[in-house]
Amino acid sequence: MSAERVRIKTLVVDDEPLARRNLRVLLEADPEVELVGEASGGAEALALISEHSPDLVFLDVQMPEMDGFGVLERLEAEKLPVVIFVTAFDKYALKAFDFHALDYLLKPFDDSRFEKALARAKQQLAQRELKDLSRRLISLLEDRGGPRAVEDAAASADRPARYQTRFLIKSAGRVSFIRAEEIDWIEAEDYYVKLHVKGRGHLLRETMNDIETRLDPEVFVRIHRSSIVNLERVRELQQLFGGDYAVVLHDGTQLKLSRARRERLESLLKTSRR
């Protein structure tokens, strides 16, 4: 007998009955979502969050007595669900992201915009699951393998070494590790980065800026706002028409080189090949 798939516990908070109904209809159509409750105000929302510990909350900004920001201020940081703010006023957008909202739905929104927000929430929750798995893995290695095993695993989880040496990848229900040195180059792709390894791409829910700070700058170099390369994979710099340059990797991949980053790349390439 197979185990029942765990669904995303979701709460809808909005003082307008029609808005709650619209979200309910959209959420109930998704088999991965379990709607655990609806609230029409901030106090009721806090009670339901305490009772159900939802994974995801669609939270209205403007509500009588206690608004959506007030709800979040009363929750413990480590217990915050993934939050998608919903409001009819775009003036609250920046403040919503100051409160670490994952997304912001401006009423009236269409089905495709809702689906995009929900897809982002699912990815965020999957990343949380991976981090939790990493912590459990470290604990297991500590019991079985001693300090050396813990140090090795921590590089890929929440306790990294000076520079990250491994990345945890979840794909098709499997979890695997990729060593940083195996990465050929890294590409920005919407809300993700793609690690290119031996002709295969692996998506991570990261930003280019975040991943750049965790990689050894003597090995990995940002050559464009949308790409980072492993210096060991660079075969040559190729001059293009108009004075631009491309970075050519050993596998033949050609990547655009930003003019502002060319000097530093050339300097690092000379140093690394002495």
The predicted structure's pLDDT at residue 159: 40
- What value does the CA radius of gyration of the chain take, rounded to a whole number of Å? 23
Could you tell me which of 181, 204, 184 has the C-alpha nearest to residue 194?
Answer: 204
Residue 68 lies in a domain: yes
Distance CA 49, CA 10 (A): 10
The predicted structure's pLDDT at residue 75: 81
* Domain enclosing residue 263, as ranges: 167-272
pTM of the model: 0.49
Domain ends where: 99, 122, 145?
Answer: 122
Residue 242 lies in a domain: yes
The predicted structure's pLDDT at residue 263: 87
Distance CA 37, CA 29 (A): 16
Instruction: Tell me the CATH number at 201.
Output: 2.40.50.1020
Domain ends where: 122, 148, 181?
Answer: 122
Domain ends where: 96, 122, 148?
Answer: 122
The predicted structure's pLDDT at residue 124: 77
> Is 219 in contact with 260 (CB distance < 8 Å)?
no
Q: Is 220 exposed, middle or buried (0-12, 13-18, 19+ CB in 10 A)?
A: buried
Tens digits of residue pLDDT in 125-144: 877 665 555 555 545 544 55
Distance CA 63, CA 13 (A): 9
Residue 159 lies in a domain: no
Residue 84 lies in a domain: yes
- C-alpha pair distances (Å), 109 with each of 6, 16, 114: 28, 15, 7
Distance CA 230, CA 208 (A): 14
Residue 141 lies in a domain: no
| Beta pairing, strands 103-106 & 56-60 | unpaired
Residue ranges, the chain, pLDDT below 50? 1-4, 138, 141-142, 145-151, 153, 155-161, 274
Number of H helices, E strands in the chain: 7, 15
Instruction: Tell me the CATH number at 108.
Output: 3.40.50.2300
The predicted structure's pLDDT at residue 246: 92
The predicted structure's pLDDT at residue 82: 86
The predicted structure's pLDDT at residue 139: 53
Q: Which two tokens stand for residue 3?
A: 């185990």
- The number of distinct structural domains making up the chain is 2
Cβ contacts of 27 within 8 Å, gap of 6 or more: 10, 12, 33, 35, 118
